[in-house]
Amino acid sequence: MFSLCGLNCGLCPRHHTEGSSRCPGCGGEDFHLKHPACSVITCNRHHDNVEYCFQCSSFPCERYENVSKSDSFISYRNVLSDFEKARGDGIERYRAELAEKIEILVFLIDNYNDGRRKSFYCNAVNMLRLDDVREIVCEIRKNVSDPGMDIKRKTEYVVLLFEAKAKKKNIELKLRK
């Protein structure tokens, strides 16, 4: 769920889509059918053939010295800091953090999605630090436990929590187009 190029595939809305447009994540089953011309995979084959670009002897190359200023389905803003965490703390520790974020994302999508918030939650969980996301989930569990509250009100409350935390941290929760 952590790709060769540093994207968190498990936090991407395309990974959490049902049907033929679902992306299995970098290296996942049939990934080559969804993204046959992935330039990062091609580059990796011509260089060190590593599991993650930060392990390549050419890292940081031009691709990472000039990280994309626009996003696709998921933000590229955390790629370098995520690589640093994976390198510094170890890949297993980073994967454990990512797995927890994915678990939280699934919880949000399953319980607080009014049909229009999957991409918002994917981006928010990706952009915010894990401790901030945990704090929000604690707040949700404490204040949104009323089974009589309709999904629209629950969703609005949860979105406000994420937006407030992001504003406090100076993080914009919108993809850059």
pLDDT digits (tens, 9 = 90+) for 77-134: 899 999 999 999 999 999 999 999 999 999 999 999 998 999 999 999 999 999 999 9
pLDDT for 100 equals 97
CB atoms under 10 Å from CB of 7, counted, come to 24
Segment of 23-27, 29-33, 112-116 carrying the highest mean pLDDT: 112-116
Instruction: Report residue 153's pLDDT band, with 50, 70 and 90 as the boundaries.
Output: very high
Predicted pLDDT at 36: 67
The whole-number average pLDDT for the span 150-161 is 93
Instruction: Put residue 6 in one of left, alpha, beta given phi > 0 → left and psi -120 to 50 → alpha.
Output: left
Cα separation values, 146 from 102, 107, 142, 177, Å: 25, 16, 10, 37
- Look at residue 44 in the predicted model and tell me its pLDDT: 86
The two structure tokens encoding residue 26 = 């970098």
69 has a pLDDT exceeding 90 = no
Instruction: List Cβ neighbours of 137 (8 Å cut-off, separation of 6 or more).
Output: 104, 107
